[in-house]
Chains A and B, each alone.
Chain A
């Protein structure tokens, strides 16, 4: 158990050392420094280094442009919320970050996305490795039609993260604990993942994602299919996870964005209109469009 955690801390520490600072960061650093302390989601000092840097990202479906010249950074141990009207390209953008758009026929991404200083579209970045390091939780809970144990163990298994069955058991337990699901499922690990309720399924998916110990977790409207109680549960979980991971969450609930995120990005028709500390975006947006959206004048 200790071994396993130590190993993981080691590897993440290593990757942090290797990280590479993008020059343009200063702009955003000044932004984050303005962020007022916001318990319990205060941004720790060590997170002030971007782990994903996007510059001039454009996405096209066939010839239709869905994302228009978006540049933003994602820091370690922060929760970045992406808000915007439906169809404005939030999902499209977040799916660029782990190259999930590769699977869509006719989808083309241009511009630079640097993860740990490496362009994710370059030959130096393997897509399997990228997805192991940038995990994703989807809008609809999508557990594998296998046992709860198998769901969580699958990622570690294919990546060879566990040397033995014992180690694998540990990973599964730790992940389920982190996802706040352990106490509910520990007696029925062999039951199908589909036998769980919607909220539990989504937490199982989160456990499945963190079992691979990624550096970034992408969440695309993770609560839109859940009831308020399950939603509250997942929001709590995000606060805990942000102690370790960078989290990018797409949400159409402004309250949720305000509750869970350190920074908020507002998208409109495929363009990034404004990004900044959540408090600022919600209290003093600098753009008219943002103000209209958060005051409910459209969208």
Chain B
């Protein structure tokens, strides 16, 4: 009745309705549009990486009869024998028409640079075969591999000097004999880095990343959760705790390379820990991850309803009993979610690892936390820096693997959240 006008409310509301609905529709369209843009970029990114990377998961193999000459492979010297010579002799026997020195050298390009290793592994596994001729699948040379997988055309490969006319002819002849196949490249997942693309793998990098995660998790989770419990539940609220809170929030915004520099100064220069080791890398990543876990854990603790605390205190539980019997179990899924997200960020981090020397060329797969190691993102960085096209392909493949890990970790976080969501 305090409205002077006589127009009924219904009329006023009705008049404003079209405008309101229009506004709502416009907002929905903006929203849908932004989603489309996001997915477009995601699609471009994924399709690019996939087109480039999928080939690295496959390799071209050639089946050749190899005579395991007992004069070259001595029983007491299986590991040190000259397998390169064994292979080149067998190749000559298989292609008797090749006579000139030049042609002989080119013939070796038919097979990959690491075939000696493959043959050595075979002989170590089957020492009884020495002295006989065996048919073995061997990885093809990089040029042939690229042509066979359709990365480059034959003309381009010949122009670039990756293969010669003669080699190509031999390859086609082998192909028509059924001696060529394309198969899953398991070596990519098991071997360490190498100078030859066909032998290079992410095995070492995966192990390095795994060690990093272990160190990071076991350091940052207990410390982060402990700090969060103390700050949120025990510490009296004061100006000091406010300052600590603000600074923990600030820490999450610090560029990761700064953490790398801190690690370099403290862990390497002061504590003299070994360079390039997953231990130091993990320490640095922990520095980065702890604030993330503290913040996630604090908000998880905050979201536990006060009624649960009151219930526990009401029956006479002490403060610590209340926290550990009731509050922490309810906050734990949230804490784990935060930890997983923090770890997913850490596993993709490159810059801080560069600072503590985890960019080394590491062939051996690390066995201990102190061994020099590399990590997946660093391996990607190293490979994408190489001029050789075959290495870029490997980098793309490594990116696929890394993204797969990230998706797996984020899914785990979502799963945890969904599973334990609002049980109270």
Enumerate chain A interface residues (CB-CB to B < 8 A): 98, 100, 103, 105, 128-129, 131-132, 135-138, 140, 142-145, 154-155, 158-159, 194, 205, 208-209, 211-212
Task: Across the interface, name the chain A residue whose C-beta is closest to B424.
Answer: A145
CB of B245, distance to nearest CB on chain A (Å)? 15
Tell yes or no: B68 within 8 A of A by CB.
no
CB of A120, distance to nearest CB on chain B (Å)? 13
Task: Write 25 A-B pairs (CB below 8 A) sorted by A numbering.
Answer: A98-B314, A100-B310, A100-B313, A103-B309, A105-B237, A128-B317, A128-B318, A131-B314, A136-B310, A136-B314, A137-B314, A138-B311, A138-B314, A142-B307, A144-B311, A144-B326, A145-B423, A145-B424, A154-B315, A154-B317, A155-B317, A158-B317, A158-B321, A158-B325, A212-B315
Q: Please, which residues of chain A bring their CB within 8 A of the CB of B321? A: 158
Q: Please, which residues of chain A bring their CB within 8 A of the CB of B308? A: 142, 144-145
Cα-based distance from A146 to B330 in the complex (angstroms): 11
B310 touching A132, Cβ below 8 Å: no
Cα-based distance from A98 to B155 in the complex (angstroms): 89
Cα-based distance from A35 to B250 in the complex (angstroms): 65
A140 touching B313, Cβ below 8 Å: no
Task: Across the interface, name the chain B residue whose C-beta is closest to A208.
Answer: B315
Tell yes or no: B312 within 8 A of A by CB.
yes
CB of A247, distance to nearest CB on chain B (Å)? 15
Q: Take A144-B308, A145-B330, A158-B321 as given contacts and tell me if A103 and B316 are in contact as well, using a CB distance cutoff of 8 Å.
A: no
Cα-based distance from A294 to B330 in the complex (angstroms): 43
Cα-based distance from A138 to B314 in the complex (angstroms): 9
CB of B418, distance to nearest CB on chain A (Å)? 16
Q: Please, which residues of chain B bring their CB within 8 A of the CB of A194? A: 423-424
Task: Across the interface, name the chain B residue whose C-beta is closest to A136.
Answer: B314
Cα-based distance from A198 to B326 in the complex (angstroms): 21
Q: Please, which residues of chain A bring their CB within 8 A of the CB of B326? A: 144
Cα-based distance from A137 to B311 in the complex (angstroms): 8
Cα-based distance from A158 to B326 in the complex (angstroms): 13
Contacts beyond the supplied A131-B313, A158-B315, A158-B317: 18 A-B pairs with Cβ under 8 Å = A98-B314, A100-B313, A103-B309, A131-B315, A132-B315, A137-B314, A138-B310, A138-B314, A142-B308, A144-B312, A145-B308, A154-B312, A154-B315, A155-B315, A155-B317, A158-B316, A209-B314, A211-B315
Chain B interface mostly helix, strand, loop or mixed?
A: helix
A155 touching B316, Cβ below 8 Å: yes
Cα-based distance from A98 to B313 in the complex (angstroms): 10
Q: Please, which residues of chain B bring their CB within 8 A of the CB of A140? A: 307
Cα-based distance from A49 to B314 in the complex (angstroms): 25
Cα-based distance from A129 to B318 in the complex (angstroms): 10
Q: Please, which residues of chain B bring their CB within 8 A of the CB of A144? A: 308, 311-312, 326
B316 touching A131, Cβ below 8 Å: yes
Cα-based distance from A254 to B387 in the complex (angstroms): 86
Q: Take A128-B316, A158-B317 as given contacts and tell me if A103 and B310 are in contact as well, using a CB distance cutoff of 8 Å.
A: yes
Nearest 5 pairs of A and B residues by beta carbon: A132-B316, A155-B315, A142-B307, A136-B314, A131-B316
CB of A270, distance to nearest CB on chain B (Å)? 22
Task: Across the interface, name the chain A residue whose C-beta is closest to B317.
Answer: A158
Cα-based distance from A13 to B316 in the complex (angstroms): 21
Q: Please, which residues of chain B bring their CB within 8 A of the CB of A103? A: 309-310, 313
Q: Please, which residues of chain A bring their CB within 8 A of the CB of B318? A: 128
Within 8 A of A (CB), among B297-311: 305, 307-311
Q: Please, which residues of chain A bring their CB within 8 A of the CB of B312? A: 144, 154
Cα-based distance from A144 to B310 in the complex (angstroms): 10
Q: Please, which residues of chain B bring their CB within 8 A of the CB of A105? A: 237
B305, B309, B311, B313 interface centre (most CB from chain A within 10 Å): B311
Cα-based distance from A208 to B310 in the complex (angstroms): 13
CB of A288, distance to nearest CB on chain B (Å)? 34
CB of B293, distance to nearest CB on chain A (Å)? 23
Q: Please, which residues of chain B bring their CB within 8 A of the CB of A135? A: 314-315
CB of B367, distance to nearest CB on chain A (Å)? 45
Cα-based distance from A163 to B298 in the complex (angstroms): 37
Cα-based distance from A142 to B315 in the complex (angstroms): 12
CB of A175, distance to nearest CB on chain B (Å)? 11
A143, A144, A208 interface centre (most CB from chain B within 10 Å): A144
Cα-based distance from A98 to B315 in the complex (angstroms): 10
B316 touching A142, Cβ below 8 Å: no
Cα-based distance from A138 to B312 in the complex (angstroms): 12
CB of B239, distance to nearest CB on chain A (Å)? 14
B237 touching A142, Cβ below 8 Å: no
CB of A106, distance to nearest CB on chain B (Å)? 9
Q: Please, which residues of chain B bring their CB within 8 A of the CB of A137? A: 314
Cα-based distance from A159 to B314 in the complex (angstroms): 13
Task: Across the interface, name the chain A residue whose C-beta is closest to B309.
Answer: A103
Cα-based distance from A98 to B310 in the complex (angstroms): 11
Cα-based distance from A138 to B309 in the complex (angstroms): 12
Task: Across the interface, name the chain B residue whose C-beta is closest to A129.
Answer: B316
B316, B423, B424 interface centre (most CB from chain A within 10 Å): B316
CB of B420, distance to nearest CB on chain A (Å)? 10
What 1/0 mask marks residues of chain B from 329 to 354 whose CB sits below 8 Å from any chain A CB? 01000000000000000000000000
Cα-based distance from A211 to B314 in the complex (angstroms): 12
CB of A251, distance to nearest CB on chain B (Å)? 18
Cα-based distance from A194 to B326 in the complex (angstroms): 15
A142 touching B313, Cβ below 8 Å: no
Q: Please, which residues of chain B bring their CB within 8 A of the CB of A155? A: 315-317
CB of A2, distance to nearest CB on chain B (Å)? 25
CB of A151, distance to nearest CB on chain B (Å)? 9
Q: Please, which residues of chain A bring their CB within 8 A of the CB of B305? A: 142
CB of B403, distance to nearest CB on chain A (Å)? 36
Task: Across the interface, name the chain B residue whose C-beta is closest to A151.
Answer: B311
CB of A141, distance to nearest CB on chain B (Å)? 9
Q: Please, which residues of chain A bring their CB within 8 A of the CB of B311? A: 138, 142-144, 205, 208
What 1/0 mask marks residues of chain B from 393 to 424 whose CB sits below 8 Å from any chain A CB? 00000000000000000000000000000011
